[in-house]
Amino acid sequence: MRESLVEAKYSARLVIVSVKIFVERQSAGKTIYESQVTTTMNQTTSNQWLKKVPQEVGWYLAGFVDGEGSFNVSLKKVSDYQLKWKVEPSFNVSQRDISNLILLKKSLGTGRLRKRKDGVAYFEVRNYKMLYERVIPFFEKFSFRSRLKVRNFSIFKKIVKLMARGEHLTEEGFKKILLLREKLNEGKGRTRKYSLTDYLDS
């Protein structure tokens, strides 16, 4: 099978890049061309929303998340997926005082805010498209200071960008993501239900 890229459409106002691919295959001695359309997210879109975030607010929130925030990637078994596994990246911050979380949600323009039974407020972004379009650009502009947070954010960012390119849907790309995940949040306090070994042994 041979694939050739024949058409690509890019828009500065959209976050989707549509790519049309013609696939050549042989069937009963005849050459057949089939068209397939794939889509990947384009982060080169204008981040007008980010320009509206006041500098003092952006840097304040970066400092707040540096100390209180967490970037995670969970691994789940899913029977109706082709790979039988699913990766779920998430960004979350929890605190008893909800005021900073409200400000964070407003500044990012995405995420879910709720209160747990123990009274702790919890802000979370789980949609990887929103992580790619909102969370990552925000903390690329308003960067972290602590070495550990910088490292974990860098790994997390690579994972989300791989997903934005659709690589989590292929076996090779999925393994890349899991290898990166092994380096995320390293330390004694890390607990996980499933690991790379569980995936490889399945």
Residue 160: pLDDT band by 50, 70, 90 thresholds?
very high
Whether the model pTM is above 0.95:
no
Q: 181, 73 in Cβ contact below 8 A?
A: yes
Q: What are the boundaries of each domain within the chain?
A: 2-41, 48-201
pLDDT score of 197: 82
Helix or strand or coil: residue 119?
Answer: coil
Q: 159, 89 in Cβ contact below 8 A?
A: yes
Q: 11, 134 in Cβ contact below 8 A?
A: no
**Does the domain formed by 48-201 have CATH 3.10.28.10?**
yes
- pLDDT tens-digit series, residues 5-54: 333 333 333 344 444 333 444 444 444 433 333 444 555 456 899 999 99
pLDDT score of 7: 35
